[in-house]
Amino acid sequence: MSAEERKCAHGKYWLIIALLGIALAMSLALNVRRVSRRMAGFAWKRPAAEAGAAEDEHPQFEERLSWGSGNRKVVRIAVEGVIARGGETGWFGISTDPTGDVLRQIRAATNDEDVAALIVEVDSPGGEVAPTDEIHNALRAFRESRDDRRIVVFVRGMAASGGYYVAAAADRVIAEPTAIVGSISVIIQSLNWHALSERVGVTSTVIASGRHKDMLNPFKPENPEHIALLRRVVDATHARFAQVVAEGRGLSEEEVAAVADGTVFSVPDAVEKRLVDDIGYWEDAVESVEEMLEDTVRVVRYTKTMRFSDWLARLRAPAADLTAAVPPRGPRLLMLWEP
């Protein structure tokens, strides 16, 4: 075979590969679209948003019947994994924001006059302080929007640190017998490699307008004054955490002080310390809601028809928990249990 023939054959080979790739992508897109439509066919449709309604203020979801067929409408919402705001970018520059998704679901339930209660399924070691506080505040707003609305938190595997901060917004907390509860505490952590940098001859050049601007610079020795300043921030946030638990659980200052030292508890111990109301499973959580509402319930979950771009974004979503646990943006104020 001549060089020209080999070049021609090589070109045809890559052309075939390209065509196969395009065909595969189109087939995948069509299948995802078909599955999405099929899923939507089983959904209960929310009323269409009014013309001109702000989509973040009045988010719209499809509803799928999850459990029961009773009189009162209940929405189940999951708070899972490390609690953090967006920033985890998936393929093609698509970002994920699990906290934003949770807040939108709570807001949708708050806006829906038919919703009598929430079952919040928590399985989280906590995370960043601000997103955690946002979720807690949204849950309180739901409960306070009407006197007859209730919240049950169902702890599956863990409600530690910020996970428990979220749970403290509930009227009742039910946990599976093997769950972990507690770690009522706040942390800022950072690496310091000053000694190592001196050995290898690596330094840091910082141009700052204030003497406290480069706190926790890992190339400098620990500064006691900086540590004291950050301690004040941690203590103030911890005091708020303790207050949230005291108000949410109806505990005295002494009772909160006894559990707010970062300790994690088994569920029987958590019940004894009044951090958890009952030990049980999903059916018990539903029964608890019915007891509080004094009526039968039908539980729905919110869904959205998955577009092809959403599907691509979720392919990489599981990695978000790992990267959020050690934020790449430097030291962060965290309510996170990370043994």
Which entry of 7, 12, 45, 213 is annotated as an active-site residue? 213
Rounded CA gap, 113 and 101, in Å? 20
Task: Classify each residue of 187-199 as buried b or exposed e, where b means 16 or more C-beta atoms within 10 Å of its C-beta.
Answer: bbeeeeeeeeeee
Q: Is 304 a catalytic residue?
A: no
Say how many CA atoms lie within 13 Å of 10 toward its Cβ: 7
Residue 282 in tokens: 């999903």
pLDDT value of position 40:
42
Q: Which spans in the chain are helix H?
A: 3-41, 98-111, 129-145, 162-167, 194-200, 224-249, 253-259, 267-272, 282-293, 308-315, 319-325
pTM for this prediction: 0.78
Query: Phi then psi for 225, rounded to 5 degrees?
Result: -65, -40
pLDDT value of position 337:
85
Q: How confident is the model at residue 48 (pLDDT cuts 50, 70, 90)?
A: very low
Q: How confident is the model at residue 338 (pLDDT cuts 50, 70, 90)?
A: confident
163-174 per-position pLDDT tens digit: 999 999 999 999
81-117 per-position pLDDT tens digit: 999 987 544 444 445 788 999 999 999 999 999 999 9
257-266 per-position pLDDT tens digit: 999 999 999 9
Rg (CA), the chain: 25
Report all structural domains of the chain as residue ranges with CATH numbers, in order of start: 55-184+251-336 (3.90.226.10)
136-153 per-position pLDDT tens digit: 999 999 999 999 999 999
What average pLDDT does this structure show over 16-31? 64
What average pLDDT does this structure show over 327-338? 72
Q: Is 161 a catalytic residue?
A: yes
Residues, the chain, total? 339
| 227, 326 Cβ separation under 8 angstroms | no
Mean residue pLDDT across the chain:
83
- Strand-pair category, 72-80 with 115-124: parallel
Which entry of 161, 183, 185, 288 is annotated as an active-site residue? 161
